[in-house]
Structure 1
């Protein structure tokens, strides 16, 4: 079916009316919809899991509820997961953030995770059932360093009870998620960048070393920029007096 028209001047176009006028529905599709057959299916189900810093959750409010929302911020899937690990022995013992939807359902009204009441039973765990549901954690670019390293910890640390717990490695509470990930050996070794800078220090001028250092920082996201700086800062600043 084709619809066209001729007019002397351009007027406002109603795309909704044009779509309905030009749409063609076959007899098969018509019967399918009249009989209320399912249009699509999705298997397995996918649950999106939020990632944000400790005080970085997004809060929506209006003029009427601004004070209430400020005092009682709604939980996200991440804060609900941390609360779950505090109160649920199974979650605290072995559960990763991405595995939560497999054993728990997300209650959007209560903003909390609840144990599944049906599915395949888990050996050795009474009243624990699992489904094929997949947890998909939102991703971050390495340039958003703290969120990126927080996500890295969430997919490797089982049963965290707080943001502070995620920054704890080998009994030490670190100031950043990057340093915690490095203490847990989750980050790539910077040995090749050490060799690169050392070679440049032997053959290049301070300005060239500084340019190389900037490229490494902005393009390759080394695991420990501070240590890399300490190793070559005097070579980079050698011509500062000139």
Structure 2
């Protein structure tokens, strides 16, 4: 959907109540005529002159600061190929009632690739990429970590495996015990300095690559695990669940009580932010 033009003359750039930019459009009296229509600054589409010259194409550029815009872009580049629905049929004849209907041959869900995209894929160019890499960080309440097993495995034997008591989140506790540098990092900051070794199931100091961490989202109505996630944005270098729930040398019974003691739930701001984020 393209924005409507013309816009209003504006002396300075500002941000409206919805977070969208209102760009400066000076009334400098300059007018050009295109196909009999007079155009001034109110009709200028936001653009980047370097990109226009580099690619020789119409490229609109808008500044955004909303998660819904970013989500739209990532959804668009990951949505896959364009698809078309094709239906095959033949005209009716006198013996139409005797004709057999083959629904499979009459309906095809086809993939469409344009010539430019086909050439791009033939040459093996990247369709898209993300930089830096994003590590998704799971977490869980005590003794509630996920356990993955196959259908044919015996549950009692699976429960006795050592890996059941290991997870990325519990490995974070162990790394905080071993590395002094880890004690200064939050859970989301941890992958910037350390890397998870899946086979050894331990965190080790990072030697290369730029990586950022992203903690899984939890709805506010999820109970204690929501308050745990809220704490993970602030606590640095804990070695146990009890240390997370300790505020000013006082060990609280629940994560919710600890959040109140730390002042994270003095008002409804956290809930309002979560609702606004979910609505977008």
Compared CA separation, residues 28 and 152, structure 1 to 2 (3 A) = same
2: CA distance, partners of 1:104 / 1:172: 30
Compared CA separation, residues 2 and 177, structure 1 to 2 (3 A) = closer
2: CA distance, partners of 1:6 / 1:155: 60
Which of the numbers 208, 212, 219 marks the counterpart of 1:118?
Answer: 208
CA contact (8 A) 1:59 1:74 kept: no
User: Matched residue of 1:182: which SS?
Assistant: helix
Which of the numbers 100, 123, 134 marks the counterpart of 1:35?
Answer: 123
Q: Which runs of 5+ in 1 are unaligned?
A: 120-130, 191-218, 221-242
1:90 aligned partner: 181
Scaled by the length of structure 2, what TM-score is found? 0.55
2: CA distance, partners of 1:11 / 1:31: 34
Question: Structure 1 residue 163: deviation in Å?
Answer: 0.9
Q: Which runs of 5+ in 2 are unaligned?
A: 1-83, 91-99, 273-280
1:140 aligned partner: 218
1:170-213 deviations in whole A, cap 9, x for unaligned?
A: 222211111112222222159xxxxxxxxxxxxxxxxxxxxxxx
- Size of the alignment, in residue pairs? 175
Which of the numbers 259, 265, 268 marks the counterpart of 1:181?
Answer: 259
2: CA distance, partners of 1:52 / 1:186: 20
1: CA distance, partners of 2:194 / 2:265: 30
Which of the numbers 68, 87, 94 marks the counterpart of 1:4?
Answer: 87
Scaled by the length of structure 1, what TM-score is found? 0.63
* Structure of higher RCO (CA pairs closer than 8 Å, 6+ residues apart): 1
Greater share of residues in helix = 1
Q: What RMSD over aligned residues (CA atoms) do the two structures have, in Å?
A: 2.8
Question: Structure 1 residue 74: deviation in Å?
Answer: 5.7
